[in-house]
Amino acid sequence: MPAATHIHADKVRAYLATRYRFNHAGQDIVLSIGQRSAALAALFASHNMHCAAFITAFNPRGSTQSDALNQLARQQLGEQLQALALPVIKGAGSAADNSWPAERSYLALGLELQPARDIGNHFAQDAIVWIGADLVPQLVLLR
């Protein structure tokens, strides 16, 4: 995470506390920033991957958008990820205390850090979640 950011500290704390969820093979997998995931280790192994990114296109810069705009952005993000021909799993990021509506997202297996950052920036996101070979989700601030 960069030492300096233009993102308000309260937002950063909220992103750090968010639970990033997806379902794979009937198992609900929840990723938490800074906590290694054994379930993700099995998923990486089954797809022979060493990294992944959890990305949304909802609510650019953390500002509430209409459902229609969020759905359109999500569709565009899905198409962009599909064009990369990587395994993609639908998911959602949600606040542990339900103080912010869940944001539909994607876990893109095999998506390296810089392309993940580029996609997050394209959709005007404050941050993405990236997971490397250590299987520890990290919050990557984009501005």
pLDDT tens, residue order, the chain (143 aa): 445 788 999 999 999 999 999 999 899 999 999 999 999 999 999 999 999 999 999 999 988 999 999 999 999 999 999 999 999 999 999 987 777 789 999 999 999 999 999 999 999 999 999 999 999 999 999 98
Residue 107: inside a domain: yes
Domain extent, residue 46, equals 9-141
| Rounded (10°) CA dihedral 66, 85, 107, 36 | -160
Residue 17 lies in a domain: yes
pTM above 0.95, yes or no: no
Distance of CA 89 to the CA centre of its chain: 11
**Domain membership flag for residue 2:** no
Q: Does residue 4 sit within a domain?
A: no
E strands, 64-136, in order: 88-94, 103-109, 127-131
